[in-house]
Amino acid sequence: MRTTDQSRFRVYRPDPMPQLRLVCFPHAGGSASFYRSWIEHLPDGTELAIAIYPGREDRLVDAHPETLQALAEEFAAAMPQGVPTVLLGHSMGAAVAFEVARRCARTPQRLIVSGHPPPHRLRPNDVHLRSGAGLLAELHSLGGVSAALFEHAEIRELMLPMIRADYRLIERYLPGPLTPLPIPITAVISLDDPEISEDEARSWQDCTVAGFDLHAMPGNHFALVERPHEFIGWLATLLPTAELSWPSTP
């Protein structure tokens, strides 16, 4: 699996014979580089594949689909086979990962969802209808956007339509009847994240018949990348990679 015009994923450290593939789906407005800091913390034998949403990076000219389900169908169809796979989605990516898991030809070993309520507990919102200033204010409130990034008009003009399109997908997401997945689900919450409560996170257990657990960590909405040693150290205890040598966390 490589990044080409036809691909939907970027692999920063491709492995010809990986023992495990961790497939990640970023937040609204996120790019493949969102998870790049994880590379140095992952062990040999684990391949990190990151979804590329339309309108950025190698898919800069690709139009957004009409629904989040249609986006998930793209990724499910492009999902590589033959290697044990774990899906991980953060914020909007949690919903995308859930819908991909619903559609995968080969069932993933686990779904990890972070920073977003489950499909039957979605919060109504209108971020995609706000002005550019309102959209930027929302991004700043989550703690994951540098103010300097949007000081230049060229960058704002390039990024805001893409971010708005992502928010439109998640805010118009209609998941339909809930059919629990036949795989374990782990929900992750950060203690200072305004986007999800512990009660909402625990409701992800309604989306599986194969086991559920909850992991809480300190930090804001983007703690999983701002604290990579801590997060990957915990992840090492969860993934089915006991035979691999995980880097120790300081």
Catalytic residue set? 91
DSSP string, 53-122: -TTSGGGTTPPPPSSHHHHHHHHHHH---SS-EEEEEETHHHHHHHHHHHH-SS--SEEEEESS--GGGP
**Cα-based angle 185, 186, 192 (whole degrees, multiple of 5):** 140
Rounded distance, CA 118 to CA 75, Å?
Answer: 20
Backbone CA torsion sign across 63, 154, 49, 93: negative
**Backbone φ/ψ region at 147: left (φ over 0), alpha (ψ -120 to 50), beta:** alpha
Of the CA atoms within 13 Å of residue 94, those in its CB half-sphere come to 22
User: DSSP 3-state assignment of 50?
Assistant: strand
Cβ burial of 178 (10 Å; 0-12, 13-18, 19+) is exposed
